[in-house]
Amino acid sequence: MKYRLLGNSGLEVSAIGLGCMSMSAAYGPPADHKDMMTLIREAVDLGITFFDTAESYGPFANEELVGEALAPMRERVVIATKFGFDIDPASGKRSGRLNSRPEHIRAVADASLKRLGTDRIDLFYQHRVDPDVPIEEVAGTVRDLIQEGKVKHFGLSEAGTQTIRRAHAVQPVAAVQSEYSLWYRGPEAELLPTLEQLGVGFVPFSPLGAGFLTGAIGADTEFHATDFRNSVPRFAPEVREANLVLVEQIKTFAEQRGATPAQIALAWLLAQKPWIAPIPGTTKLHRLKENLTATDITLTASEVEDLGQAAAQIATYGDRLPAAVLAMTDH
């Protein structure tokens, strides 16, 4: 495994982390708890040090899983979690409302620490920007938590460039998490240049397009009734076959390199900037090992450019997230 620094923060993580959401939510029924405990610990044995969770995954169940699994090797890993939604502590139901009021951030931090079974949160993201709370108040609250030792680093998720600059002026932002892949190139226009200028790391989620870029999803693939991809426009049956043209392009490139589509998609991301650390999620050991092998693939500058240009010339169809979720994205 190779390791990277997230910008100028001094926070070192494995070049590829592990997004843990799918173990507890969003992709159908929760996976078996014991199996996921084993998978997380095997990930550590394979060199992964960067684990991503959130109070909203489950809700709550994913933090408990990650905390329990990593407890024996806590000093060897970086745990990232998130605040920013209203969730009823009693019922575990998420209202869908954003909430980054200072008192709520503090309450979430304390609850997350307890669920994770740890004395500090290594990277504490605002899950979505709350338009009703000035970002300076959010950054100031996390700064106070850092000074108290409860949090080590501050992060933002799906934040716009102006929000990032305002937050960074109050409390340095260690990392920004947003979607980025060969299927979704939005961050390239403004976000990546801003992060480079500020010295902020970048953590792409859905680096494999929620599984699409692995090549394992076909035009006729049916998802479980509770799988969020049923509501994602770009996975809709009427556009999926057209979107598979991009996957075929990646497959062709991968065959030339003796790799899998997932490995090439991840290697391409890693080649963009040395401060990028994607967090593909999986519930399967063979997929985990496949993803990690991407760190052994070194693409030449011309290969990176050729693959990026080829992908950019292929039209893709459908929004990357449901309209209600996209509405929470900061611009």
Parallel, antiparallel or unpaired: strands 12-14 and 3-5: antiparallel
Identify the CA nearest to 109 among candidates 65, 145, 133, 64. 145
Q: Are 174 and 7 in contact (CB under 8 A)?
A: yes
CA 276 to chain centre: 11
Q: Are 322 and 234 in contact (CB under 8 A)?
A: no
Residue 57 bears catalytic tag: yes
Cβ atoms < 10 Å from Cβ of 4: 21
- Give the whole-angstrom CA distance, residue 171 versus residue 81: 18
- Considering 57, 125, 180, 184, which one is annotated as catalytic? 57
Q: In the block, which residue shows the tokens 């899950």? A: 127
3-state secondary structure 46-59: CCCCEEECCCCCCC
- Give the whole-angstrom CA distance, residue 115 versus residue 168: 28
Q: Look at the alpha carbons of 192, 193, 194, 195 in this order and tell me if their dihedral is positive or negative.
A: positive
Cβ burial 209-241 (10 Å sphere, 16+ → b, else e): bbbbbbbebeeeeebeeebbbeebebbeeeebe
Q: Look at the alpha carbons of 88, 91, 97, 98 in this order and tell me if their dihedral is positive or negative.
A: positive
- As annotated, the active-site residues are 57
